[in-house]
Amino acid sequence: MDKLLIINIKELLQAGEEIVLKRGVEMDDVNCIENAYVYAVDGRIADYGEMKNLPAELNMLVKAWNSADPHEKETCSQADAIEVIDAQGRIVMPSFCDSHTHLIYAGSREREFVDKIKGLSYQQIAANGGGILNSALLLENMSEDDLYSSALGRAYEIIASGTGAVEIKSGYGLSLDTELKMLRVAKRLQQNLPIPVKTTFLGAHAVPARYAGNKEGYVDEIINTMIPVVASHELADYIDVFCEDGFFSVEDTDRILNAGMKHGMRAKVHANQMGVSGGVQVGVKYDAISVDHLESVGEEEIMALKNSGTIATMLPGATFFLNMDYSPARKFVENDIPLALATNYNPGSCPSGSMQFQMALACIAMKLTPQQAFNACTINGACAMGLEDEVGSITVGKRANFIITKKIPSLDFIPYAFTTPFIEKIILDGKQIEIQ
C-alpha cells in the first residue's frame, strides 16, 4: 500500500466531508483546518484533521520515519512504505479544477495577436479566415502523434501550475476525421495523464470554409454524421456549441444540443461572449452542466440561471486577452448562482493555462474575494466537469491531488502576488510530481 502523510500544515484548505457546489454566501467560505495533517492511502484521501488529533498509529509511523536513515526515506523501503512530508508551516490545498480548455491545437496565433493590437476585432479576424479556421487548417496538417505530443506538453504545463483536473474540447477539426483526431488525442491524454480528464465534442465551434454560405449544411453534418460517430466511439462526455452572432444561432444550438443529448452527452454552451446571444437560455433549457463566458449578460440571463441546475463558468483570461468588459460576477453571487472559473486555454483568446491568473483577474477585475475565486477554481470547477466525487476538496475518498504551497502568508497572497510562483510541491494521487 502506498501511504503519504503530510504533517505540520499551517492551513489545510477546503477540507471537509460536506463540501458541495457553492453559491451565494457559501462562496465566501473556505473551510480551513489550522495546524493540520492529511493522510492518503493508495492515492485517495484517508484522513485529515488537527495535528493534536493525529491518530496514534500515524504518530508511530512518523516517529519510525523520523528515525529511519536517509537512504530508507529516499527509497521508501521501510515497513509500510509510508512517505512523510513535514510541511513546516506551509499551506496545503486541493489542486485547481479547470473546467474549460481547448488545449489541443496545432500552432500558436501570435500574428492575430498583433492584428488585434493594430485594431482588428476577434470577429473581423475570424471573418477574414483567421481565428478558429486558421487553427483548423494548422490542425489538419499535423499528424495525430505530433498533435498528442504538443498537447501533452501543455497538459504538463498546467499540471505544474497546480491544475489537478481538466476538461478538454475538440473544435479545431471541423470535419469528421479531424474532430475524431482531436478527440482521440484527448482520450490518449485521459489515459496517460496523472489527472482526471473530461472530453467535450465542439464540432460547432465555427463554420468551416467548405460550408461557407451553407451553415445549415454543416449543422446537419454535425447532427447526422459527427455526433453519432463520436458517441459510438465513446469519445466525449459533453456536447458544446459556440452560440454567438457570426457562429451558431440559438436554433442551431438547440438542434445540436438536443442531438448530442440523445446520444448521451450532457450540454455545455459557449454563451454570451461577444454579445447577448440567447446561449444562456438554450443552455438552461437543456439543463447544461455549465454555460461559459457570460461577458454579455443582463437581468434575463441572471433570471434564467437562478434556480436552474446550470453552473455559470467565467473565463476572465479571455476577457483580459481580448480587452473586453468583464462578466458581472458579483451579480451572479448575489443571485445565488454557482460560479466556476476556468482558463479557456487556447491559441486565439487565452494562450495561458494558469488558474492563479484566473483567480487574480476574478479578484482584481471582477471584484470577487480570494475565497470566492478559490471556491470557483476548486469545488465549483469540479462540479462543472461532473468530477465532484473525485476532486475539488480535501474529503475522505477523493483523489489525493494537492498543492503544497511555498511559505506564503495566506490564501489571499495567491491572487495578490499574481506572477509569484506559489507552489512548492504538487501531489497527484498521493504521489509527488516533479515540477520544472
Q: Which residues bind ligand NIG (CB under 6 A)?
A: 102, 131-132, 135, 242, 270, 273, 318, 344, 346-349
Task: Give the per-residue SS3 of the chain.
Answer: CCEEEEEEEEEEECECCCCCCCCHHHHHCCCEEEEEEEEEECCEEEEEEEHHHCCHHHHHHHHHHHHCCHHHHHHCCCHHHEEEEECCCCEEEECEEECCCCCCCCCCCHHHHHHHHCCCCHHHHHHCCCHHHHHHHHHHCCCHHHHHHHHHHHHHHHHHCCEEEEEEECCCCCCHHHHHHHHHHHHHHHHHCCCCEEEEEEEECCCCHHHCCCHHHHHHHHHHHHHHHHHHCCCCCEEEEEECCCCECHHHHHHHHHHHHHCCCEEEEEECCCCCCCHHHHHHHCCCCEEEECCCCCHHHHHHHCCCCCEEEECHHHHHHCCCCCCCHHHHHHCCCCEEECCCCECCCECCCCHHHHHHHHHHCCCCCHHHHHHHHCHHHHHCCCCCCCCCCECCCCECCEEEECCCCCCCHHHHCCCCCCEEEEEECCEEECCC
CB of 350 to ligand NIG, least distance (A): 6
CB of 263 to ligand NIG, least distance (A): 22
Cβ nearer to ligand NIG, comparing 8 with 123:
123
Contacts of 25 (CB under 8 A, 6+ apart): none
CB of 223 to ligand NIG, least distance (A): 20
Cβ nearer to ligand NIG, comparing 278 with 370:
278
Cβ nearer to ligand NIG, comparing 116 with 425:
116
Q: Do 345 and 154 meet the contact criterion of CB atoms below 8 Å apart? A: yes
CB of 67 to ligand NIG, least distance (A): 54
Cβ nearer to ligand NIG, comparing 173 with 347:
347
**Residues forming beta bridges with residue 201, ordered by sequence position:** 239
CB of 380 to ligand NIG, least distance (A): 18
Chain position whose Cβ is nearest to ligand NIG: 348
CB of 155 to ligand NIG, least distance (A): 18
CB of 139 to ligand NIG, least distance (A): 11
Strands 311-314 and 290-293: parallel
Cβ nearer to ligand NIG, comparing 318 with 363:
318
CB of 171 to ligand NIG, least distance (A): 7
The CA distance from 253 to 339, in Å, is 22
Cβ nearer to ligand NIG, comparing 16 with 347:
347
Cβ nearer to ligand NIG, comparing 344 with 380:
344
CB of 273 to ligand NIG, least distance (A): 5
Cβ nearer to ligand NIG, comparing 292 with 388:
292
CB of 318 to ligand NIG, least distance (A): 5
Neighbours of 154 (CB within 10 A): 19
Cβ nearer to ligand NIG, comparing 33 with 186:
186
Cβ nearer to ligand NIG, comparing 10 with 268:
268
